[in-house]
Amino acid sequence: MSDKKEIGQSTKSIWGGEQEHELYERSTQVPVVHSVSFGYKDIDTWHQAALGMVDGHIYSRNSNPTVRAFEDKCKELENAEAATSFSSGMAAISNSLLTFLKSGDRIVSIKDSYGGTNIIFNEFLPPLNIDVSLCETHDDEQIKNEIARGCQILYLETPTNPTVKITDIKKLSAEAKKVGALVIVDNTFATPINQHPLTLGADIVLHSASKYLGGHADALGGVICGNKDLIKKANHYREINGATLSPMDAYSLLRGMKTLKLRIEKQNESAMIIAKHLQKHPMVEQVNYPGLETHPGHEIAKEQMPGGYGGMLSFAVKGDLDAIKIFLPKLKYAHMAANLGCVETVVGPPSTTSHVECSANERAAAGIPEGLVRYSCGIEDVEDLINDLDQALSHLN
């Protein structure tokens, strides 16, 4: 086992991807390389770099030093052989699906995946003659039966956005292997600090890096990690179709990732405390958080999320959407915004955040009530967040 596999996640967050390549003029931080192209002094070396025979960059749509450092850091955090990045989380999702699916193929997934992913499943893949089977997230038997019918991809998201449901990666990956299916897992909510899908049987793990990896809501990006052959195919699709991560965003993501473990540990802790508090609040009807023993997926989460249960929770307040319209604007320490995973607490209903692209009927079909609140814990003092929630909820009495 190499030293890289033995070091801790905080060390990887700080040093990962930054030691393999000499930095410009002995800088201690990865520089932002804005150059579109990279020059060579002779044709032979240039040609070898273009073919990947020697290390080097030729054009930033294909590869870039700053972007490569980000990819290498993600690779190390997910204990993967390789990684490739994208201009956004949705670019990572769509490019991954389109790389490995063709006309006549079949994909099995869950109903309450992220809204943008759901749109791909329901609107974009069927016209390409790709059969999509969306199962109840909590129904392992239905998922297993659909896998057994044959498929090329099993796509999982766990915990889900915004209902924070849990799917059993290990069990369902084993079923997918029986039919030769590729397993892709969206690990955005869990992060590499809490969960490692590749060790549970997944082939590709992906992230919307705009969320927890960056952590500061100032950079868009996406990334996938897996074995070299799979990532090579996805990278080829991406470099030709052009969903390239910008060097400046890669730099911002790298800077944010230095504190990844510290942030996630704090957010794990705060989310658990807040979830337990809200369970006892008279104006809250239901709290969804996998760390709670009452959560249907708690036992699975306890096994496959050894680092913690994440900083995301959702809850339903009495009075549904009308109550949310009163309650949310009263919060002092939370942005009402379509984002999550950053150092500030962020809140919102699915109709304006995760599933804004979907109709009310489509959200209902996915098991997402209109009166749900998605709550992304920041790193504020948890006592202040609880007091803030209490004072805002008091306006519903």
Quick check: 325 and 309 in contact, CB under 8 A? Answer: no
Quick check: 260 and 341 in contact, CB under 8 A? Answer: no
The helix or strand, by DSSP H or E, that contains position 86, with its residue range, turns out to be: strand 82-86
How many angstroms separate the CA atoms of 160 and 392, rounded?
A: 26
How many angstroms separate the CA atoms of 52 and 55, rounded?
A: 7
Residue 20 φ then ψ, to 5°: -75, -25
Tell me which residue has tokens 């909510």: 189
61 has catalytic annotation: yes
Which tokens go with 158?
A: 């766990």
> Which is nearest to 373 in space by CA: 250, 283, 306, 291?
283
Angle of helix 89-100 relative to helix 228-241, nearest 10 degrees, comes to: 110
Angle of helix 247-257 relative to helix 65-77, nearest 10 degrees, comes to: 40
How many angstroms separate the CA atoms of 332 and 384, rounded?
A: 10
Determine the Cα angle at 335 with ends 331 and 339, to 5°: 140
> First vs last Cα of the chain: how many Å apart?
59
Written as one letter, the residue type at 48 is Q
How many angstroms separate the CA atoms of 310 and 101, rounded?
A: 31
Cis omega (within 30 of 0) for bond into 329:
no
384 has catalytic annotation: no
Tell me 79's DSSP state: T
- Identify the active-site residue in 112, 168, 186, 203: 186
- Identify the active-site residue in 114, 251, 309, 375: 114
- Identify the active-site residue in 73, 211, 266, 374: 211
Determine the Cα angle at 203 with ends 303 and 121, to 5°: 95
186 has catalytic annotation: yes
- Identify the active-site residue in 61, 144, 255, 302: 61
Written as one letter, the residue type at 200 is L
How many angstroms separate the CA atoms of 193 and 190, rounded?
A: 7
Active-site residue numbers?
61, 114, 186, 211
